[in-house]
Amino acid sequence: MTEARALIADIGGTHARFALVDDRGQAGAPQVMRCADFPGPAQAAQAFLAAQGGVRPARAAFAVASPITGDVVDLTNSAWHFSIEAVRRELGLERLDVINDFTAVALSVRHLGPEHLLKVGGGVAADGCPVAVLGPGTGLGVSALVPDSAGHWTALATEGGTSPWPPPAPRRTPCWNGCASASAMSRPSASCPAPAW
């Protein structure tokens, strides 16, 4: 990898994944760290950077399993509670962007090829319709990518981590059982409506 340009992180309730992005925009191999081993994201990032030879990127972007409503972040399924500005200062960053983890996933969907998508349920996907993004982990990651009439797409910032997951067994439908076994991204289908639980 050439010189590190930025630090990126995917921070969930159980694990934090850190990687460096080089000056060509290529991400290096991620390192998975247990959140419980660190008091917060600054300390986990410092340990990751030390293991990379003490590199000091100027910018970072963290995707976190939590709603982002201001400077203070309380992870939904983790004890981590932090100020974005305090972490920026502690890491010596010029800029730190923090977004919801599944907002980040939804933003990536338009860059995926058909081989990366999993069709859930029957029916045929309709072009120009919202795209659902789901992923079970410590909690349930939920978002959607919604098109507008001008062809632009907006990722919804949501937090499904406090939803009961999995739903009670008698209420599961085949498409939701599939989501429980692996992360799934799918266009909505009329033959696989969301269950009402």
- pLDDT given for residue 131 in this prediction: 85
CA–CA distance, 63 with 8 (Å, rounded to integer): 8
Q: Does the domain formed by 4-101 have CATH 3.40.50.300?
A: no
Q: Provide the whole-model pTM.
A: 0.75
Low-confidence ranges of the chain (pLDDT < 70): 1-3, 160-197
- pLDDT given for residue 195 in this prediction: 35
- What are the domain boundaries of the chain? 4-101, 105-186
- pLDDT given for residue 39 in this prediction: 97
State the sign of the Cα–Cα–Cα–Cα dihedral 29, 82, 158, 33.
Answer: positive
* Per-residue model confidence as pLDDT tens digits over 42-98: 999 999 999 999 999 999 999 998 889 999 999 888 899 999 999 999 999 999 999
Name the token pair of 115: 């081989």
Name the token pair of 57: 């990127």
- pLDDT given for residue 170 in this prediction: 54
